[in-house]
Structures are given as C-alpha cells and as structure tokens.
Amino acid sequence: MSKFGPQLQFWRKARRLSQLQLAVEADVSSRHISFLETGRAAPSRPMVQHLSDILDVPHARRNDLFDAAGFSPQHSRSALTDEHMQMVSSAMSQMLERHAPFPAIVIDANWVLVQLNKPAQKLFGAIGLGCGANMLDFVATSGAAAQVIENWPEVGHHFLQRLTGESRAAGGLRALDKAITSLRNDPAIANYDPPSPLPPLISINYSVGGLKLPMISAIAQFGGAEDLTVTDLKIELMFPATKEAQTWLEENFGSDP
C-alpha cells in the first residue's frame, strides 16, 4: 500500500490542504489520513473515490490512485471511432459544422488538434496547422506565433496563464509544462505589462497573408463525461471580434468552394 500514500499526499499538497483540513472534508480523523499517507492503513475503494472527489483529482489521475491502492481502474479510454462513442463524435461534428462560417476546433488535453471545421481548416492551414498537429509546438516555438498574431505579447501572456492553470489542475502535464517554460522565456511575454482595467475579452488578432482577422473564443466541454477521451476534449468556437471580420468570414467561408 506504500504506493497510494505518496500519491494521496501529492494531491493533498497540490490542493493546499493540511491533513487536518482534508480529514474534516472527508469526515474522517486526521490520524486516518496520516496512516493512509504513510501506508499504515489501506483505503477501501469507496474511500479512494471519496478522497478523489474531495481533492478534485482528474479522471486520468484517479485511475493511478485506484491502481496504487490495488483496485482496477475506474475510467476507460475509448477511441472516438468506437461504436459507443458515436454520440460524442456526432455531437462534435454538429457543433463544428453549424458554427460555420466561423472557425471551430476540437483539441485534447495536450492541445493536439482532433477536429476542425472547414473555416478552421482554411485559417489554420494557412499557418501550417491541421488535424493531428500540436498547437503547443506552434505557440511555444520562438517567434512563430508572433509572426501571425499581431497582439502576441497580450495573447502569449493569456496562453501562459491558461496553460499554467490547466497543468496545475491536472497535477502536471509534461507537454504543457514544456510550453510554459518556453513562454516564460519569451521576452515579449516577460516584458508585457497588462493594461488596467483589462478588457472584457482578449481577442487573438490574426494577421495571415495581409489579412487582419481579430477573433474571440468560447470553450465548451461535455457535461457528465467519464471516459478519459471525452474528459480531455475541449471544443473551441471562434467568433469575429469586429464587424469587418464577420463580413469577411461570411463572404469567404459562408459556402463551400
């Protein structure tokens, strides 16, 4: 049982809780929490579930806790092509298709592009990104994003905050942490001084082939997701930030060529 203790301690500290605080939340004694962390006590399967809920452990990492405690994994990981995942694939396709003429994409936890609608294929294709590409490689490559995003210092600062939050919530993700380091070392981001007050939304002002296209985004996820593939997915719906951008998108992406 020694494998479970260190993992429980990791998540407790990641959530900045003392043993006493966790014990109060879990309605057990702090002595019991201490025994679990040192391996002097073995958790039941319901207790692993209970502590995972309190500590808000991501589903993928919950499997590690169950395994460390000697139990079978709780969450499976399916392929989007599996028959029982058809409702997920269909829902994503409908969202992306109906969002046209505005771009929409699906990314996984590591920011790999899983699916793009046709407007997004055209927009991202112009900067060399397509299905299967990792957006972090583009964002974290020195100078690459600054060439196509006019307000890169502002956007890069936002990306840095977003990636840091996502990695922290997940207990650390190597791909995200690598990109975080690159962004922190970018002088344009390091020297960025956010305005006060901040705007309601930060737009990404694309500049591709002479085209100026400011965009804002809304991010959606599936509610009630238990499969690891589904919990990883984020659907990003992009909207024009100006009337001029809206007109251009409607005129150029409003119908198939």
Considering the domain architecture, whether residues 45 and 131 belong to the same structural domain is answered as no
Instruction: Indicate whether 78 belongs to any domain.
Output: no
Q: Which residue carries 């001029």 as its tokens?
A: 244
Instruction: Indicate whether 207 belongs to any domain.
Output: yes
Q: pLDDT, tens digit, for every residue of 76-119?
A: 999 999 999 999 999 999 999 999 999 999 999 999 999 999 99
Considering the domain architecture, whether residues 26 and 128 belong to the same structural domain is answered as no
Query: Can you tell me the distance from the alpha carbon of 124 to that of 108, in angstroms, rounded to the nearest whole number?
Result: 17
What average pLDDT does the segment 198-226 reach?
A: 92
Considering the domain architecture, whether residues 97 and 204 belong to the same structural domain is answered as yes
Instruction: Indicate whether 76 belongs to any domain.
Output: no
Boundaries of domain holding 46 = 4-68
| Six token digits for residue 226 | 């238990």
Number of H helices, E strands in the chain: 14, 5
Sheet holding 234-240, edge to edge: 113-116, 104-107, 234-240, 211-220, 204-208
Share of the chain above pLDDT 90, in %: 89
Instruction: Indicate whether 154 belongs to any domain.
Output: yes
Question: Would you state the pLDDT for residue 253?
Answer: 86
Instruction: Indicate whether 73 belongs to any domain.
Output: no
Q: Which residue carries 């900045």 as its tokens?
A: 16
pLDDT tier, 256 (very low <50, low <70, confident <90, very high otherwise):
low
Query: Can you tell me the distance from the alpha carbon of 160 to that of 145, in angstroms, rounded to the nearest whole number?
Result: 13
Considering the domain architecture, whether residues 23 and 91 belong to the same structural domain is answered as no
**pLDDT above 50 for 257:** no
**pLDDT above 90 for 247:** yes
Q: Which residue carries 């390091």 as its tokens?
A: 190
Q: Which of 35, 68, 101 is the last residue of a domain?
A: 68
Question: Would you state the pLDDT for residue 2?
Answer: 65
Query: Can you tell me the distance from the alpha carbon of 249 to that of 253, in angstroms, rounded to the nearest whole number?
Result: 5
Considering the domain architecture, whether residues 35 and 159 belong to the same structural domain is answered as no
Number of domains making up the chain? 2
- Closest Cα to residue 119, out of 136, 133, 98? 98
Q: Where are the alpha helices (DSSP H) in 185-255?
A: 187-190, 228-232, 243-253
* Residue 47 belongs to domain with CATH number: 1.10.260.40
Considering the domain architecture, whether residues 98 and 126 belong to the same structural domain is answered as yes
Query: Can you tell me the distance from the alpha carbon of 183 to that of 139, in angstroms, rounded to the nearest whole number?
Result: 8
What pTM was computed for the model? 0.89
